[in-house]
Each structure stands twice: as C-alpha cells, then as structure tokens.
Amino acid sequence: MNRELITGRIIAILLAGTMMAGLSACGSKTAETTAASVAASSDASATTTTTVATTVLTEYSGPLANDQEVTWEESPLDAELTLYSTVTAGEFLNVRKGPGTEYNKAGTLTRGQTVVVVARTGTGWYKTSDGFYVSETYLSATAPTA
C-alpha cells in the first residue's frame, strides 16, 4: 500500500471514532451508521452530516377548560359566527382567557385561521365557542387575501 492510502485510512478511522464519541454522547441512534459510513470510506475525503431542525406544533382537540372567573358582561350572538384571523402574515393573534390583553394567553391563531365565536363583550372582544376570547380588531367575516 502506498503511504497516502494508509494516511487516508488512518484519518478516516480517527474521524469515525471522534464522530462516534460525539454522537453517542448525544444519544443519537444514527451515530453508529454515520461513523460506520465514514470508516468504510477508503479515501481521505470529508463527510458532512447536516441536521435540519423541525418545528412541531401541538394540536389540541377541544374544548379546552378556561379557569378564568367571569367578571365582565358579554352578549350572546343570535347565531355562531365563523370569523377569520386577519393578522399580518407571520404574526399571531393571541387567544386569551378573558376579554383583554391583561388576561393570560391560552393560544394563538395564524393569518386566515378560522375561529367560531358565540358572544361579544362591550370592550371589543369576542368569546369563542371554546370559552376563550379574541380581539374583534383582528377578525373578519371574509378570509384575508395573500
């Protein structure tokens, strides 16, 4: 064997050992696979592994319980209304436990997401069918355009 080939194999084995130690410290099951593929390489070319972060959105099936004591007046609507969130793209509409920004946030809506409302307060907030509140400022009867 020539000297360059031996040196390349030594480097590959050292890289594989280093990667295996680093990835096993993270508890990754892919560490063995990645390290094995690097060790199996007969040349000294570097292997790069890229991990892409993913966003996981939790979905709830309602209704969720609202533990906020009602201390305000609200008027029931004649019929349930389905309204659309009209916040700016990339922004969120806060769903609150009471009709005001001083109440805790219970969730969020994105642009164009629908919400069913059943009552309206005198302060410009709608009560949702789940018992939470959203500001009427950011709701519309028509879906927002792109």
Among 8-17, 45-54, 80-89, 115-124, the least confident range: 45-54
Give the HSE-up count for residue 72: Cα atoms under 13 Å, Cβ half-sphere.
19
In this prediction, residue 9 carries a pLDDT of 72
Rounded mean pLDDT of 53-65? 54
Per-residue pLDDT band for 140 (boundaries 50, 70, 90) equals very high
Q: Which percentage of the chain shows pLDDT scores above 70?
A: 58
The token pair that represents 134 in the structure block: 């959203």
> In this model, does residue 85 exceed pLDDT 70?
yes
Residue 54 has pLDDT above 90, yes or no: no
Q: Which of 80, 87, 84, 81 is nearest to 140 (CA)?
A: 84
Best CA proximity match to 8, nearest among 42, 39, 56: 42
Distance CA 8, CA 101 (A): 63
Whether the bond between 63 and the residue before it is cis, its omega within 30 degrees of 0, is yes
pLDDT at residue 145 above 60?
A: yes
Q: Is the dihedral of CA 120, 107, 110, 138 positive or negative?
A: positive
